[in-house]
Each structure stands twice: as structure tokens, then as C-alpha cells.
Structure 1
């Protein structure tokens, strides 16, 4: 069922449609009584749909927009190349990655939760620049698993790749960010799962590509890294990784490498590409959710803004199978909602498809972006991000200077935010009561 957003488009108050209500308990001050912990705390509600960090290409700044009233709260000047913006694992911080400037900058949304022992306390403050920066060489891939994020620094000729581990807790405490230096330069990726770091490896004898071909596993005790093993299973032209509850999957030039993260030995199995793949086709990115058995891999031509989708099911006899979109369309971007109930796909014709992840049936489709306002040129392709608190999508269309807010559960347009500048990157920031996997 395809429904046009033109008929749904409206400018109602966002707070009445998508509302993150944080129930907090106030702190009592000034009591010297030994029964201080026994008194009743007052209750205060913070009602917020969150904030959006936007890269303003006109002023070369990061603007923080309050979703509920659509006002810019503050702007941070950012020198150098246009960044890619990401959200910290628990939603408080914006992470700005400037690959060509060898720089990662961290900004505080002002929305956060503190554990006060007998209660959780939510805060709504002015966004700020933390002053925390990382200076790894060519920071590129950023991946999250539960409460930890990993930045992979590709490095340059004459240098070696490295990774940096972070979390909201580390950033809040301004603690030392742990790093691991590798043995070669590569366009790689890493995941921290429990106390194990899985990171790509490129042998020094490989000189025809910077893509890795193997995976290493390290133990991490919070301070030091210890190499456990280098997997003998090959994964040539490795690019992209994703996880669900049971498996970590890497995309390879000739298939996928699946590591069982529930087995204490973390065994790895390589699965070949299906015969239907054309020469040069490979899984380039992998998407997973802890509540969903199947992972999704993307296959697209280098430099293209569209791609084909494939199911990856490590336990199946045929591990990689086609994920067919209506009208044989290709995808611009895709992902799971926070609940895992829905997998969304923005197709090349501007239609947003919503799939039920229980049986992968097509639940609904709506025209998210009108074709006349859709541009797939480099730097102008639309971006889709999700709230970490609700199944809400934020579709940034740089070509039209608009953000479309979609309710993924009901497949409806909730709000259109009209910008007076060109935004080229976006990240959601806000309150998340539980860890997002």
C-alpha cells in the first residue's frame, strides 16, 4: 500500500505526536537527618523528542536543533572538511568525524541521565562543546555494540591503523580513551563485544589493496589489549561488519565471515557468495539487530548511491539470499528501528518501505521524498537516522533543505522541518532509558 506524504503532510506540534517522557525523581538538599534517604522524592517530567545535530554547510558549523519547537539551540564553528555525524552509544553526545583532517570532535547534547543511587535523574541543559578531540589518522568507520563505540582510523602511507574505544560514561568522566595500534595500514572496522575486540587485519605482504583479508580477536580488560588469535579463515576485500544477538558478520569480497559470539571459543565460518552474484559484487555493509535472526547486507557499485539488499542468515543452509524490493528497486539507505520490529528501506524512487521483521512481509510503503526533490548526486543523497528512544525516523533531504519525521510503527509522516540552510549530515541526540544494542 503506497501512500503519498503530500496528503499526510502537516505542521502539527511535534511534541503531541512523538514524546519521550522521562520520569525523574528530584534531589533533596539541605537535610542532615539520618533518615535523609527515606524521604519521598518529588517527581518531575522532562518531555523531549530529543535534539538533532546538523552540519550546516552554509556556515560550516554544527547546529543543534530542538526537535519539539524546531529552534536552533546553539551552533559550534567547525573548521576543515564537512564531517560525518554520529550518536554516542547512549545518545548524549554528537561525534563529528573529519577523516581528511585526522580529527574527531565530541559535542554534548545537554540531555542526559545520572544515576543518583536511589533514583535516576534526567537533565535538560544547553548543548556544549566538550573540548574532547581525537587525532587518529584518517578516522573512518564508527561502529556501536551496546554501550561501546569504536572508531577505526585507516591511517595513511607510512603509518599504521588504530582504533579508539569510547562510551558515554568515558566521555562524561573525561576519562582516557583507550587505543590499540595495529601492524599495518588498512580500510578496516572493529567491534567491542563484551570483553573481546574483533578487528580487521591486513598482512604486510598484501600491497595491491588497503582492504583487510582477516580478523583478529583481542581480550580487553579495560586498560590493556591481549591478542587471543588471528583467524585463519580468509575474508578477502573485507568491508563492513554487523551483529545480532548470536553472530558477528563481516562482508567479504567472496562471501561473508560469521563469528559465533555466544560460543566461548568464538569460532568463525566463511560462507561463499551465491552464484547469482556478478563479477566484482560483494557485501559491503552489514546491518543487524539483537532481536532479529537475519542480518542484512548491501551490494552496490563503487561510488553509487544505490544498492541491492541481501539477507544474511549464518545458521541457514544458504547463508546469503536476495532481499527483493517492490518494482525491483534499489535502496538508497536502510536500517532497523530501535525496537527491531521494523526494517526500513528508502528506495531510489523516494518511497520508504517498512518491513515486519517477524516474517519480513512488507507492512507499508509511503512516498517519503517526491521524485522532483530527490537528488542522488554525491553529497546530496538523502540520509535517514533513527531516534534511540522511539521507532521514529528522521529523513534529511539536503536537496530540499527539509527533514521529514516519520513514525515507523504506523508508517506516517508526523512533521516536516523546513531548514533555512543546507544540512549535509545529521545525528539524533536524547534520553535513552535502556542501553541500545
Structure 2
């Protein structure tokens, strides 16, 4: 069984950084792709759908962005704490961390590869009967057509961490492709990489829930075996991402970078800058196939490029007004554009292809207040902004640099994600 290699083109959603190559997990995925084939080539043109979770109720609403109409409001088992799109943007992944529960909504707009042709589907959204119930589901890292869902476990109850590998096909079939359980609990992460998963390890002597090492696991059927634990440590590990050659993990003292070369993995450390304030660290990392550099984030608005080749970290002077705070952000995994909404109501676009420099900045909100969330469309140049205070959703045309309100909600929005058929998928044929 093989996992796809990151060097192929991306078709994934935003919260993750993508990778792919032929592997054993692909074999499992092939077995799951047994949908009936009517041998008709159908192509659907749509701007997609939005999944929006309710802040104060156990509900998720699905909207059609072609008509700006509510398609369905679903009752979830618990209030949703995290909302993600599945690797091919068909399903909304509903994380209910405090209740140890994960549900899925089929957005109803998706594409299947029927070998001799591609077939598009446009159906009513539906709540899946497939659920996952391990302790504290948290990070959801997408690697092209697959994703690793990490369960932190419970350190107080002695429940170990674990992760599950998912694809759109496996979710549709109500199953995971492979799973792994650790020896103890940790707030960890997992990056799928070829036949391997590069993931986290917490030593027994560490009292914090944060891991302090990184290890390589290798796929064996529906489970994993340990290949190696990298000697370089990564204290207080939090945040991970990958590009076509490297995987990066945020550490208390810098960034641990794993390089893949001819199937072998080696670790190096990029140290924090001397200018870091006491206690400051890289806690979030963004990566893209469009750049050799990673974008590291400290204290929510201090941005740094991390160069794996030179082992150097450089601060970005990306803000026009350093008094601004960051209200929300989102990475477009296909284009490599990182969208950042600031407290002055301006949206900044950082371009991975240009070493994460700001390529555009324009106003989208007047006098922002409250909480916001962003979702990037994979079908066009649109970014959606949910505004909890005003109970609205804005559509931002990042090419024309214009914004308009498209939804007036009767609930307070919390999380938002885009579902549908990605533009790159449309170009493939």
C-alpha cells in the first residue's frame, strides 16, 4: 500500500499542506472507489458550497454559493469545535473535540474518476452515518488525496494518542484506511509522506502534553511500524507543514526540518532568532509546493520565513501598521496564497511563490469587531469571510479586490469551510 507523493499537483483544501506518490494507502483507496459507473461523462460548473458551524448550537448549515441559498441545516451530536474539508473537498469534517466525536457531512458536490472518464455529481447534502470516537480529535492535516486526523488522547485518564488516515472514498464507505496508536497521550500532529507518516513522540519524562521528538512510521497494511526516531529533539512541539521536499515542525527553540531524499529522511534544526522575546516561539507553520521556504508564525502576527537549505530564519516586515492584530487567516493550498485579515479591516495576501511576500492588500471590512473566519474557494479566486458580530458572510474577489455581503444569517457563525469541485480538477481533463 502506498501514499501519494507531494510532487504531484495539489487538489486539497486549505487547512493543510499537500503531498503524494504511489503507495500502499493508494491500494486501499482503490479498493474503496467501487461506486457504480454509468459511463456518462458529466461536467458540472459550480462555485461550490459553504459549510458553516453555529457558535452556540449543535448545528452546521450548508449553503449553495451559486444561489446563496440555504440547502440544509444539520443537527450535530455536539457543538462543532473544528470544521475542515476532506482532501477532495466533498465532505465537511466536524470535529467535536471536547466530546471525543467526529462526524461528516457529504456536501453533495464532487467528482469521481471512473478510469475512462471523469464524472461530476451534484446532489443534496447529507449527514453521513460514519463517525469516529477516539479521545480529543484535533489536528487534521491534508496530503493531497489523503488526510491524517490526530487524536490527542487524555493524559489524565491515561488514554493514548492516535491518528487515522482518511480519504473521500474511505469516508463515503464509512471506514479509515489505516490507524496508529501511540504509547501515551500528546497534542500531536501527523504528516503523510510517501509510504511513511512523519509524526510526533512524547517522552514519558515530559509532563506537558506537547511532544518533544519526531519519528518516522511506515505503512504496513492497515497499521504502521516505527522506522526511526530522529535524534534531534523538538521541545514543546506545536505546528507542522510540508512542501515538496521537506517537513517542518515548530519547536520551543526553533524549527525541526525533516528532509526527504531518495526515500531517506534526515533531520536538521533551524534555531530561533536572537531577537525572539523570552517565551516566543514558532507555533504555527505554513507550507506550499510553490515555495522552498516555510512560513513560521509566532505570537499570531510575527511572520518568519524558514529556509531548510540554508537553515536560516528571517523575519518578514509584512504589516503596514504593526499595531494591527490578526483576526483570521487561511491558506489556499492550490495557489499557495495565504490570506490574513487584520484588525483595520484590510486583507493581506502573502504569496508562497514570491517567498511569502505580500502581493496585495485591500480593505474588506469597515470597523471590524468580534470574531471572523476565512475559507478559500478551490474553484475560483474567492475568499469567504464569516462575521460573527453581524451574522453575515462576505464574498471577496481577490483578483478584482472587491467584497460584498452574500449571506445574512439567522445564527452566529463560528467555523467556515468551502466544499466542491476544485478548479485544478477541472483542468485535468
Name the TM-score class by shorter chain: 0.7 to 0.9
Aligned to 1:160: 160
Matches within 5 A, 1:196-207: 196-207=196-207
Choose 1 or 2 for highest CA Rg. 1
Matches within 5 A, 1:161-180: 161-180=161-180
Aligned to 1:14: none
Residue of structure 2 aligned with 1:394, choices 377, 384, 389: 384
Distance 1:59 1:213 in 2: 36
Q: Secondary structure in 1 aligned to 2:277?
A: coil
Matches within 5 A, 1:327-366: 327-328=321-322, 329-340=324-335, 342-359=337-354, 360-366=356-362
Q: Secondary structure in 2 aligned to 1:170?
A: helix
1:289-336 Cα shifts (integer Å, max 9, x gaps): 111222111111xxxxx4322111212352343343111234333343
**Is the CA contact (8 Å cut-off) linking 2:83 and 2:417 kept in structure 1?**
yes
Q: Are residues 414 and 118 of structure 1, via their aligned partners in 2, closer, same or farther at CA, if it must alter by over 3 Å?
A: farther
Q: Secondary structure in 1 aligned to 2:121?
A: strand
Q: Report runs of 4+ in structure 1 exceeding 6 Å deviation.
A: none
Q: Are residues 294 and 348 of structure 1, via their aligned partners in 2, closer, same or farther at CA, if it must alter by over 3 Å?
A: farther
Distance 2:181 2:92 in 1: 24
Once the two structures are TM-superposed, the CA of residue 174 in structure 1 deviates from its matched residue by: 2.8
Matches within 5 A, 1:312-331: 312-328=306-322, 329-331=324-326
**Is the CA contact (8 Å cut-off) linking 1:244 and 1:290 kept in structure 2?**
yes
**Is the CA contact (8 Å cut-off) linking 2:302 and 2:315 kept in structure 1?**
no
Once the two structures are TM-superposed, the CA of residue 116 in structure 1 deviates from its matched residue by: 2.5
Aligned to 2:415: 425
Instruction: Point out where structure 2 has 5 or more consecutive residues left out of the alignment.
Output: 1-35
Q: Are residues 358 and 175 of structure 1, via their aligned partners in 2, closer, same or farther at CA, if it must alter by over 3 Å?
A: closer
**Is the CA contact (8 Å cut-off) linking 1:142 and 1:150 kept in structure 2?**
yes
Distance 1:358 1:117 in 2: 33
Distance 2:405 2:221 in 1: 43
Stretch deviating more after TM superposition (96-105 or 347-356):
347-356
Residue of structure 2 aligned with 1:368, choices 364, 370, 374: 364
Aligned to 1:53: 51
Aligned to 1:311: 305
Aligned to 1:82: 80
**Is the CA contact (8 Å cut-off) linking 1:216 and 1:229 kept in structure 2?**
yes
**Is the CA contact (8 Å cut-off) linking 1:146 and 1:435 kept in structure 2?**
no
**Is the CA contact (8 Å cut-off) linking 1:338 and 1:389 kept in structure 2?**
no
Distance 1:311 1:323 in 2: 11
Q: Are residues 227 and 362 of structure 1, via their aligned partners in 2, closer, same or farther at CA, if it must alter by over 3 Å?
A: closer
What TM-score comes out, normalization by structure 1 length?
0.83
Once the two structures are TM-superposed, the CA of residue 177 in structure 1 deviates from its matched residue by: 4.2
Q: Are residues 410 and 336 of structure 1, via their aligned partners in 2, closer, same or farther at CA, if it must alter by over 3 Å?
A: farther
Distance 1:226 1:211 in 2: 22
Once the two structures are TM-superposed, the CA of residue 400 in structure 1 deviates from its matched residue by: 1.3
Matches within 5 A, 1:217-296: 217-296=216-295
Q: Secondary structure in 1 aligned to 2:263?
A: coil
1:407-427 Cα shifts (integer Å, max 9, x gaps): 223332255322222111111
Q: Secondary structure in 2 aligned to 1:183?
A: coil
Distance 1:44 1:144 in 2: 27
Q: Secondary structure in 1 aligned to 2:321?
A: helix
Stretch deviating more after TM superposition (251-260 or 61-70):
61-70
Once the two structures are TM-superposed, the CA of residue 44 in structure 1 deviates from its matched residue by: 4.9
**Is the CA contact (8 Å cut-off) linking 2:337 and 2:349 kept in structure 1?**
yes
Q: Are residues 142 and 368 of structure 1, via their aligned partners in 2, closer, same or farther at CA, if it must alter by over 3 Å?
A: same
**Is the CA contact (8 Å cut-off) linking 1:162 and 1:182 kept in structure 2?**
yes
Q: Secondary structure in 2 aligned to 1:298?
A: strand
**Is the CA contact (8 Å cut-off) linking 2:364 and 2:402 kept in structure 1?**
no
Q: Secondary structure in 2 aligned to 1:319?
A: strand
Q: Are residues 425 and 264 of structure 1, via their aligned partners in 2, closer, same or farther at CA, if it must alter by over 3 Å?
A: same
Stretch deviating more after TM superposition (277-286 or 359-368):
359-368
Distance 2:200 2:350 in 1: 32
Q: Are residues 337 and 57 of structure 1, via their aligned partners in 2, closer, same or farther at CA, if it must alter by over 3 Å?
A: closer
The number of aligned residues is 387
Task: Indicate yes or no: 2:398 matched with 1:408.
Answer: yes
Distance 1:246 1:299 in 2: 23
**Is the CA contact (8 Å cut-off) linking 1:341 and 1:357 kept in structure 2?**
yes
